[in-house]
Amino acid sequence: MSHLQLHDVHTYIGLSHILQGITLEIGEGEVVGLFGRNGVGKTSIIKTIAGWLPPRQGDITFLGASIAAWPSEKIARLGIALVPEDRRIFSGLSVEDNLKIGLMQLPSNQRSKHRSKITELYQQFPRLLERKNQLGNTLSGGEQQMLAIARALVGSPRLILIDEPTEGLAPMIVNEIFALLQKLKEQGVSILLIEQNVHKALQFCDRHYAIERGRVVDQGNSKNQEDIKRLMSSIAV
C-alpha cells in the first residue's frame, strides 16, 4: 500500500521551474532514497511534500488524501514530519524545550496525551537525556541532528522526510545516526531520505530514485546490484 504518491508535480521558486514533473511513491514502512548532485531539486521535493513550497501543478496524496494545496501545519498534523538540512534547532532553548516545540505540530487537544512521548524518546536517544537542560547552541553537530530527529518524532509521524542527516559529521557519529534511523525503520516508520553518502544510504534504503534537473531519471531496488550500478551511473557518483 502506498503511503505517499506524487504525480507530475511541478514546483517553482519565483520564476525558476525547480521540479519538472516529479512522480514517485513511498510504501507503508518503506525507506526510499533520493539521490543526485547538489542543486537538482531533491530538497525542493521534500519541501513540496511538507507544504513549505506549494506545487503549481500535479497532485500529492498521503493516506488517500490529496494534500497538494494544504498548508504545512495541516500536513504535519496528518502525520508527515520534516527534518531539514539546517536542523532548525532553537539555540536559546534547552533540549527539553526544543522537544516540547515538537508538540506544536499536533492539534491542541492531542498535545497532553503525547507528552509521554518525550520520555520515550529519551530512552531512544539517551544522549539527549544527559543533555536535557543544555541549550541547543551548546550541543555538538551530531547531538543537534539527534535532537532534530527526536523533535520530529514527538508527534508520532507516519512518514519522516530527512534531508542530509549526516552532513559534516564524524564517521562514528554517522554510524550512530544510521543506527537510529534503522531503529525507526524497524518500528515501521516510512522514511524519505536525502543523503550524499550514497553507498552508506543504499545499505539502509529499500528503493531509490535518481534526480536530475528537477526530474526523476532513474529508480530501482536498493538491494539489486544492477539497479545500484545504473543509479551510480545516472548520478555520476
Q: Encode pLDDT of 13-69 as tens digits.
A: 999 999 999 999 999 999 999 999 999 999 999 999 999 999 999 999 999 999 998
In angstroms, rounded to a whole number, what is the distance separating the alpha carbons of residues 44 and 55? 10
Total-model pTM: 0.91
Q: 57-62 and 65-66: which strand pairing?
A: antiparallel
Cβ-contact 134, 169 below 8 angstroms:
no
Count of helices and strands (H, E) across the chain: 10, 10
**How many angstroms separate the Cα of 140 from the Cα of each of 10, 39, 170?**
37, 27, 11
Quick: pLDDT tens for 123-134.
888 999 999 999
Quick: pLDDT tens for 96-112.
999 988 777 766 666 66
Cβ-contact 18, 173 below 8 angstroms:
no
Domains of the chain: 2-235 (3.40.50.300)
